[in-house]
Amino acid sequence: MIHLYTDGGCSGNPGPGGWAFLMRHPSSGKELEGSGGTPNTTNNRMELTAVVKGLETLKRASEVELFTDSVYVGKGMSEWMPKWKANGWRRREGKKWAEVKNVDLWQELDALLATHTVQYTRVAGHSGHPENDRVDELAVAAYQQYL
């Protein structure tokens, strides 16, 4: 079981954004961090990017516990994605169909979820959770270069 901690954020929404992950193999204690940023994006894109980038680093199919403060990511993975896929990656907006926002990242995540077994655990943001605080710090540092 791998522990994956992720966070994403923006200065303004949209605005300069950053993402980060911390991956830990609890039995060996090995850790890997990653982060990056972009000059103009949204908070939700950065939250999703952090998860995708973290899962992409795994070299073989793995069991992963994902810790994130993003309800968007958690509900998207566990509740919304199956409906979106069944509807051609579209969702209802009133009486019309609209493409799912961030569909490119959701589709990347869907492909990764076909390889890895991922369990979602929600973490309260900015609550003194050491790993969540660390990935928040990395994500903020990643977007500060664009301010």
Active site residue 136: yes
Active site residue 110: no
Catalytic residue among 37, 69, 76, 99: 69
Report d(CA 38, CA 41) in Å as an integer.
7
Active site residue 126: yes
Active site residue 69: yes
Catalytic residue among 8, 37, 54, 76: 8
The answer to whether 9 touches 68, Cβ cutoff 8 Å, is no
Catalytic residue among 29, 79, 126, 128: 126
Tokens representing 128?
């003194």
Question: 22: helix, coil or strand?
Answer: strand
Catalytic residue among 37, 47, 76, 108: 47
Q: Which ranges constitute the DSSP H helices of the chain?
A: 43-56, 71-75, 81-86, 103-115, 130-144
Residues identified as active-site: 7-8, 47, 69, 126, 136
